[in-house]
Chains A and B, each alone.
Chain A
Amino acid sequence: MEGTAAPMSAEPQTGVVDMMLNMGPQHPATHGVFRMVLSIDGERVVGVRPHIGYLHRGSEKLSEHESYGQVITLFDRLDYVSNLNNELVFARAAEELMGVEAPERAQYIRTILCELNRVASHLLFIGTYALDVGAMTPVMYTFRERERVQNLFEHVTGARMMHNYFRIGGVKEDVPGDFAERVRSVVRHLREGVEETDRLLTFNEVYLARTRGVGVISAADAVSCGLTGPCLRGSGVAYDVRKAYPYEVYDRLEFDVPVGEFGDCWDRYWVRLQECYESLRMTEQALEQMPDGLVMAPGRRIARPPKGEAYAHAENPRGDIGVFLVSDGTDKPYRVKVRPPSFCNLVGLERMMDGAYVADAVAILGSLDIVLGEVDR
């Protein structure tokens, strides 16, 4: 371990050395392969050193060898619980580069699917987070509800997770005829399911004791660490890309940005729970407004953007995901740089863990809701 070797000297060293505790890479609470080394002083954590890279697949580099259409399949696999949100941001970056815009119907379809994906992702978080802090039951409920979204996605895109459905300039094919009915029924069920989980978990004493006042990060710290998404909003900063820089059809939808108060684990959980309700509200509105028409911008099938660069960002369930795209005029991107929200949110881990109990380390890590596919890329 670094810093533990005592310097050679004549006098015997009597200094105190922190104990190191290695957590991960295989640990049930790390959701993927993530390792952190905690320095411990008694019961308290005094330092944390995250080690990432166990799930590195070289997605950014691989993208340089794939044509624009194929890169979408790689983006599916970045944050593998909110695949469609990732596809969207790459499609939008390439659209900006090429100067095309998806037809209105396609934009509505993309918005609806992305919002449902956000609910699915948050449900996964709520379930597994409850598991992390010791509640066994909620995960059964949230997974049951998540399955409804997954089934709907299979019905629309043909795949439960790796959809490859969004295209540069639209979506692959129009939604099936019964789309509106199915979405309505899914939304109805989801709302019930989220309410049920809400009743089960939110104000449970044990849950409150495990999460209230744990892993606090102040608004100023959250901003300076570059947190985004629910982790930032949990600290009371109402920054949401959908409101601040509206894309797709978000400017036409009415929704609130829930914010927390103290920036502790419970607030981060609560923000996500409220976002589920907001997303369902948005889905319903978008469904009402959805026009008929094309789902793909007319043009060449094989994308070949002109030389240049573009940046697009969007609100992923985990935060502000950004894609910087450089084109050299060929059919393959010259450089694809991703700003993954999970990775940036990890920066805040040290502040949250400072002085926390060892037993709370898992609760704090879980509340960040990182997905390692995105952290390591």
Chain B
Amino acid sequence: MISGLLGLLTTLRWLFRKPVTAHYPKQHLPVQERYMGFPALLWDDTAAEPFCTGCMVCVRECPTQCMSAQMHDNPKFASGESHRRKIIQTFEINLNRCILCGICVDVCAFDAIEMSYEHELSSFSRTGARADLGLLLELGGRYTETTQWQATNPEKNVASVALAKRAAAKTQAGEAEGKA
């Protein structure tokens, strides 16, 4: 009897406080900074092309084998606009199979893929979860915008920085040759 009243007292105290529940479709809670949503590809503005070289490391390391990629020769490499010899041609992630583990981000050495904040991508079509290169880059664009994303290794991966470094190395080598 007493314990029952004690319990009532405990619940009574919460009667006058604000509810902690968020009513989902109407109310969205913000995600945390490190939140891992669906993977997305990033866009290198300095060369107007994706960071991804299609090296296939992430495709091999994905535990659910939900990605596929194809690379081709980068036309911008020949014209000197980019330092990427190869570039991604098609890329597809089956988001239905993706388990949001973040392994693809871990293994990518080109800063090309990130776990975005997207988590509400349901669609009515059967193939709606097959994210192609365009959609992945769009998601990535949204992600870089909201987080002010910076490449972790710009010297290697951002085209303008990498090209400048290469040019500097070349002139240095030229100078050294001239001296010798």
In the complex the two chains form, is A158's CB within 8 Å of B3's CB? no
Chain A positions 142-182 with a Cβ under 8 Å from a chain B Cβ: 144, 147, 151, 154-159, 162, 164, 172, 176
Contact partner, B99, options A67, A73, A201, Cβ 8 Å? A73
A154 touches B4 (CB 8 A): no
Chain A CB within 8 A of B141 CB: no
Chain B at the A interface: SS class:
loop
Which of B6, B20, B34 contacts A156 (CB under 8 A)?
B34
| In-complex Cβ contact of A69 among B20, B99, B103, B115 (8 A) | B103
Smallest Cβ-Cβ distance to A144: which chain B residue: B20
Complex contact B3–A164 (CB within 8 A): no
Q: Is the Cβ of A158 less than 8 Å from the Cβ of B10?
A: no
Chain B residues with a Cβ closer than 8 Å to the other chain, count: 23
Is residue A2 contacting chain B, with contact meaning CB distance below 8 A? no
Q: Which of A67-98 contact B (CB under 8 A)?
A: 67, 69-70, 73-74
Indicate if the CB atoms of B63 and A158 lie closer than 8 Å.
no
The answer to the question of B36 belonging to the interface, with a C-beta cut-off of 8 Å to chain A, is: yes
Q: How large is the interface on A (under 10, 10 to 19, 20 to 34, 35 or more residues)?
A: 20 to 34
9 pairs from A and B in contact (CB 8 Å cutoff): A70-B63, A73-B99, A144-B20, A158-B32, A159-B35, A199-B7, A200-B7, A205-B1, A205-B3
The 4 closest A-B pairs by CB, nearest first: A158-B36, A70-B63, A158-B34, A155-B32
Are B103 and A70 within 8 A (Cβ)? yes
> Is B11 interfacial (CB-CB < 8 Å)?
yes
Interface residues of B in 1-51 (CB under 8 A from A): 1, 3-4, 6-7, 10-11, 20, 31-36
**Contacts A73-B63, A154-B34, A155-B34 given; does A164 touch B7 at CB 8 Å:** no
Query: Nearest Cβ in chain B — how far from A196, in angstroms?
Result: 6
Q: What's the least CB distance linking B5 to chain A, in Å?
A: 10
Q: For residue A67, which residues in chain B have a CB less than 8 angstroms away from its CB?
A: 61
Given contacts A73-B103, A204-B4, contact A154 B20 (CB under 8 A): no
Q: Say yes or no: B100 contacts A159, CB within 8 Å.
A: yes
Cβ–Cβ < 8 Å partners of A199 in chain B: 6-7, 10
What 16 new A-B contacts, CB under 8 Å, besides A162-B99, A176-B34, A199-B6?
A67-B61, A69-B103, A70-B61, A73-B103, A74-B63, A137-B7, A144-B20, A147-B20, A155-B33, A156-B34, A158-B32, A200-B7, A201-B7, A204-B7, A205-B1, A206-B4
